[in-house]
Amino acid sequence: MSLLTVLHYPDPRLHKVAKPVAVVDDRVRKIVADMAETMYDAPGVGLAATQVDIHERIIVIDVSEEQNQLMVFINPELVWASAEKKAWREGCLSVPEFYDEVERPDQIQVKALDVNGKPFEIKADGLLSVCLQHEMDHLLGKVFVEYLSFLKRNRISLKMKKRAKELVGQR
Ligand code: GNR
Ligand code: NI
């Protein structure tokens, strides 16, 4: 397994649209294993392939307290979303140290393929629902800060660019 580099906002590669996986084979399972390792190392509760510059519809999630219940979603599709919405304070490994409220459907139903290419469907609420929607957005090239006001997003962009410059200066 190997750790992958997580892209940071406002990297334009975060806005690429991921393509469906054609066959779930060992190549895909290697990507899943590397993504899981990267997510646990961060640590984060989810990771979309887009964030590690792989533009295929692959998501890993672990919302368990012990971080020992890996969930894998290949070619995820939204089947249903509740009319009821809920605001949640979100963070993102691609926008480190920024947190803000985003309103999304409270409950969702998603279908996907597992690591063996077998279809499954789940109904999600709470953190799993928020995280799944956050990750599916990544696969469409959307980062959560795009739900925030223009002013907030601009401030985040400027800070991230400044921080990137500082990091270069330290080398
Ligand atoms: O680690 C993460 N935590 C989180 C908290 C609230 C809402 C969404 C998330 S996902 C995030 C990891 C990440 O950036 N996934 O793309
Ligand atoms: Ni994210």
Quick check: is 121 catalytic?
A: no
Residue 163: which residues within 8 A CB-CB, separation 6 or more?
A: none
Radius of gyration over every alpha carbon of the chain, rounded to an integer in angstroms:
16
Q: Is 47 in the pocket of ligand 1 (CB under 6 A)?
A: yes
Residue 95: both structure tokens together:
């926008």
21 lines ligand 1 (CB under 6 A): no
> Residue 27 C-alpha to ligand 1 middle, in angstroms?
25
Across the 171 residues of the chain, what is the mean pLDDT of every consecutive 10-residue run? 95 98 98 98 98 99 97 98 98 96 98 98 98 99 97 94 86 67
Give residue 136 CA to ligand 2 midpoint distance, Å.
Answer: 9
User: DSSP letters of 40-92?
Assistant: HHTT-SEEEGGGGT--BSEEEE---TTS---EEEEEEEEEEE-S-EEEEEE--
pLDDT at 171: 67
Q: Is the CB of 130 under 6 A from ligand 1?
A: yes
Sequence letter at residue 139: L
Cβ of 46 closer than 6 Å to ligand 1, yes or no, is yes
Cα-to-centroid distance, 91 and ligand 1 (Å): 5
